[in-house]
Amino acid sequence: MRTTRGFIAGGLALLLASAVVTQAAEGWTEFRARPGAGSKALIEGSSNIHDWRVQGLIIGGGVEVGPNFPADAASAKPGKLDAKSTVRIPVRSLKSIKEDGSPYNAAMDDIMYGKLKMEEQKDIEFTLSTLTLKEVKDKTCLLDAEGELKVAGVTKKITLPMEMTFPEANRLKFSGQVDAKMTDFGIEPPAPAIAGGLIKTEDAIKFSFDWVVVKR
Amino acid sequence: MLARTWTGGIFGPHMNRMDTTQDVTRRDFIKGGSVATLMTMLGGIELTARAAEAEAPAAPAAKVPKTRCAVIGLGSWGREIVSTLSRIERAEIAAVCDTYGASLKRAARSAPGAAQVQDYRKILEDDSVPAVIVATPTHLHRQIVIEALEAGKQVYCEAPLAHTIDDARAIALAARKATSQHFQSGLQLRADKHRAFVLNFIRSGARGKAVAARAQYHKKQSWRQAAPSPERELELNWRLNPETSVGMVGELGIHQLDASNWIHDALPVAVTGFGSTMLWRDGRELPDTSQLVVEYGNGVRLVQTCTLANSFEGEYEVYYGTDGTVTFLGSKSWLFKEADAPLLGWEVYARKDSFYQENGIALMMDASKQASHTQQVADVITPLQYALDNFLQTASVVKAAAEDFTETYGEDEEALKEHMASSAVPRQPGAGYLEGYQATVLAIKAHESILKNQKVELPANLFELA
């Protein structure tokens, strides 16, 4: 009997909590990353012997957009947008590639994983704090995404300029690129001992991405 | 029961390290040097992968992630696999498995930290061991491999896949179905970097148009092993049992057959075999000597001889073309150009096997011996080592990719299948289930042809999976 009563009480509490959550989320819409939607992250850099590039095709997470978030480019107006987002890229899904996109070198991947402290830090994460629509140009919304980027366990506040388009109903596509330095995240640019220190990787990198999310 | 015999050869790492039967090791020393020198004297240009490797930027040393694995089946070949794994940086041998205690103990010498297991199912139940290498006798592959795939393991299955086409098909289909797992067939030449380099060279047209091919596997050895009991004798000598063996061509020649298919980029249309017992008249029903003619549809034929009655010249492959001939001997290759062949350019500067010329080991048995003694084994990367290293590396990448995908996007079988087949999941060179299946089918049919001493047609659909 006590068990039944407890169960009913628990159920009521859950219903009440659900109602509160529903109330809080009213007017908000969730978009989630989907496989095969065309998401891609690219990190490019250089060294004194050749350029290099690393690609990731798994970009997880999602965006919750609020009442003032535009349904299309035509209705978009400059200003702060209601949006919450966390994006994650599994470190081990990043692979070095050649210019033509084919796999490059597994040993290079292992070096990168070491530098990104993959064993302790499984993901690269970006948590959005403020999303500002600057202007609308040719059906493209130009945005500034402020937030925290966590790489190799080091968190930095960044502003990420990006574009948002509406490729089709129920879909949002975010694209952008930003310059950064490895040392900003405590990563010493690789200087392979095997080459007697003659090969030096540049500190500067360029991060670019396409991220497509689909309405749930 | 779980014992696969290693018979040595280029398909094993050290031609002279035989631990089974009557091997003529002295000949191996002569053979290794004499053929090499002969080829050089004939004007052979050594094909090395160094030029290609030099183009790639030097990779800085990185911490290589370990992959836990288990070896199931610890005959002499299984133990060789354990020994090879012990030299591979990314390999962590978590367990070794055999139903025969003595084999377990012998294998454990190369893997002191590994668990010794007699029932392979215990390994399949252990989630901390993601990869298994199946080196049991061929006829025991099917059950173990399929159960391993069903248990979510990454699987390396020794070649041939099976002793019957039905079993080989069942294994290949199970591997094909396991889209988020890695399956590699033990056709280790497909993983050999040197082979890949020479293949590119051949495909570039340097040999001209294909004319013919020749291969041989000669090694004087009985194959019969002594055993403490009749039951163990039956288990141990499964290669001599017509019910469980696909003969020399299946257990040894399959690597050359597959290499020929690979190089000719074609599957054969017919095979004609001849077999006879020339030395080991100990009651065995399988021939100890065979000749095989493998026909490709375009008039090109591979002639392969296998014998356990003679060791002369060991094993090698020769691929003849209108502009030149490419030979494979151990981990080396040479090109012999025709007099009227166009100048490639680079061959003017290419080394003409100066290693042998400078040291003169080929013509002096003692010198050859000395060279063998001083050669650092660790410097020689064998096809088996390439194959196992590549297997573990790909197994790790495939496992990680499947986990990351599922954690990120949830269960979506079709999307996962597409992702696993994409360039986002880079795989190291190695034979997959299809190559394994096709080579197995060819070997089984070749064996059948040898037993019948007659031609066997090979329709294209024979090589297709249902």
| Residue A62 scores a pLDDT above 90 | yes
Of B62, B407, B412, the CB nearest to A111: B62
- Cβ neighbours of A212 in B, within 8 Å: none
Please indicate, yes or no, if residue A35 is contained in any of the structural domains.
Answer: yes
- Cβ neighbours of B422 in A, within 8 Å: 57
B-contacting residues in A 107-146 (Cβ below 8 Å): 107-108, 110-111, 113-114
In angstroms, the CA B352 to CA B349 distance is: 9
Q: What pLDDT does residue A146 have?
A: 97
pLDDT band at B331 (very low <50, low <70, confident <90, very high): confident
In angstroms, the CA B259 to CA B294 distance is: 12
CB contact under 8 A, A103 and B423: yes
CB contact under 8 A, B423 and A97: yes
A154-165 and A171-181: which strand pairing?
antiparallel
H or E, element range at B149: helix B141-150
Please indicate, yes or no, if residue A4 is contained in any of the structural domains.
Answer: no
- Cβ neighbours of A190 in B, within 8 Å: 60
Q: Which residues of B touch A (CB under 8 A)?
A: 56-65, 393, 397, 400-401, 404-405, 407-409, 412, 415-416, 418-419, 422-424, 426, 428
Give residue A65's domain range: 28-215
pLDDT band at B361 (very low <50, low <70, confident <90, very high): very low
Question: Which of A79-93, B90-104, B249-263, B351-365 has the least mean pLDDT?
Answer: B351-365
Q: Bigger pLDDT: B385 or B331?
A: B385
Phi-psi region of B311 (alpha: psi -120 to 50; beta: other; left: phi over 0): alpha
In angstroms, the CA B272 to CA B278 distance is: 19
Nearest-Cα residue of chain B relative to residue A201: B60
Mean pLDDT for the stretch of residues A166-188: 93
pLDDT tens string B193-248: 888 888 888 898 889 999 999 999 999 999 999 999 999 999 999 999 999 999 99
Q: Bigger pLDDT: B204 or B352?
A: B204
Two tokens, residue A157: 């506040």
ipTM over 0.90: no
Any bridge partners for residue B301, and if so which? B295
Q: What is the mean pLDDT of chain B?
A: 84
In angstroms, the CA B331 to CA B356 distance is: 14
Mean pLDDT for the stretch of residues B22-47: 45
| Residue B74 scores a pLDDT above 80 | yes
Of A60, A102, A195, the CB nearest to B60: A195
Q: Which of B425, B18, B406 is nearest to B221 (CA)?
A: B18
Question: Which of A145-159, A165-179, B329-343 has the least mean pLDDT?
Answer: B329-343
pLDDT tens string B381-433: 899 999 999 999 999 999 999 999 999 999 899 999 999 999 899 999 999 99
CB contact under 8 A, A33 and B400: no
Nearest-Cα residue of chain B relative to residue A34: B409
| Residue A29 scores a pLDDT above 90 | yes
Q: Does A192 touch chain B (CB under 8 A)?
A: yes
Two tokens, residue B339: 């007099």
Please indicate, yes or no, if residue A178 is contained in any of the structural domains.
Answer: yes
Q: What pLDDT does residue B55 have?
A: 43
User: CA angle B185-B188-B191, nearest 5°?
Assistant: 100
Counted domains in chain A: 1
CB contact under 8 A, A34 and B61: no
Backbone angles phi, psi at B336, to 5 degrees: -115, 110
Please indicate, yes or no, if residue A3 is contained in any of the structural domains.
Answer: no
Rg (alpha carbons) of chain B, rounded to whole number: 22
pLDDT tens string B130-189: 999 999 999 999 999 999 999 999 999 999 999 999 999 999 999 999 999 999 999 999
Q: What pLDDT does residue A192 have?
A: 66
CB contact under 8 A, A49 and B61: no
Question: Which of B21-30, B188-197, B291-300, B333-342 has the least mean pLDDT?
Answer: B21-30
| Residue B58 scores a pLDDT above 70 | no
DSSP assignment of B171-216? HHHHHHH-TTS-EEES-GGGG-HHHHHHHHHHHTTTT-SEEEEEEE
Supply the pTM of this predicted model: 0.84
| Residue B87 scores a pLDDT above 70 | yes
Nearest-Cα residue of chain B relative to residue A61: B408
In angstroms, the CA B294 to CA B301 distance is: 5
- Cβ neighbours of A51 in B, within 8 Å: none
Q: Does A99 touch chain B (CB under 8 A)?
A: no
B291 Cβ neighbours under 8 A, 6+ residues apart: B273, B274, B303, B304, B305
Two tokens, residue B145: 């491999």
DSSP B431: B
Two tokens, residue B418: 């597409």
Best to test chain A binding among B408, B411, B414, B423 (most A CBs inside 10 Å): B408
What's the gap in Å between the CA of B64 and the closest CA on chain A?
A: 6
CB contact under 8 A, A57 and B393: no
A–B CB contacts, 8 A cutoff, strictly below: 87
Q: How many CB atoms lie within 10 A of CB B378?
A: 7
pLDDT band at B52 (very low <50, low <70, confident <90, very high): very low
Q: Bigger pLDDT: B30 or A115?
A: A115
A60-65 and A29-33: which strand pairing?
antiparallel
State yes or no: cis peptide before B13, omega within 30 of 0.
Answer: no
Please indicate, yes or no, if residue A49 is contained in any of the structural domains.
Answer: yes
Rg (alpha carbons) of chain A, rounded to whole number: 21
Two tokens, residue B455: 């031609």
Please indicate, yes or no, if residue A84 is contained in any of the structural domains.
Answer: yes
pLDDT tens string A181-213: 999 999 998 876 655 667 788 999 999 999 999
Please indicate, yes or no, if residue A62 is contained in any of the structural domains.
Answer: yes
Judge residue A190's burial from the number of C-beta atoms within 10 Å of its C-beta, 0-12 exposed, 13-18 middle, 19 or more buried: buried
| Residue A26 scores a pLDDT above 60 | yes
Q: Which of A207, A171, A200, A186 is nearest to A34 (CA)?
A: A171
In angstroms, the CA B269 to CA B260 distance is: 13
In angstroms, the CA B32 to CA B234 distance is: 34
Q: Does A40 touch chain B (CB under 8 A)?
A: no
CB contact under 8 A, A195 and B407: no
A130 Cβ neighbours under 8 A, 6+ residues apart: A80, A144, A145, A146, A147
Whichever domain contains A107, its CATH number is 2.40.128.110
What's the gap in Å between the CA of B389 and the closest CA on chain A?
A: 12
Q: What pLDDT does residue A5 have?
A: 52
User: CA angle B113-B119-B122, nearest 5°?
Assistant: 70
What sign for the dihedral angle of Cα B62, B68, B74, B77? negative
Q: What pLDDT does residue B4 have?
A: 54
| Residue B101 scores a pLDDT above 70 | yes
Q: What pLDDT does residue A149 have?
A: 95
Rounded (10°) angle between helices B141-150 and B165-177: 10
Q: Give the rounded distance of the alpha carbon of A44 from its chain centre.
A: 16
CB contact under 8 A, B423 and A107: no
Please indicate, yes or no, if residue A7 is contained in any of the structural domains.
Answer: no
What sign for the dihedral angle of Cα B383, B288, B39, B327? negative
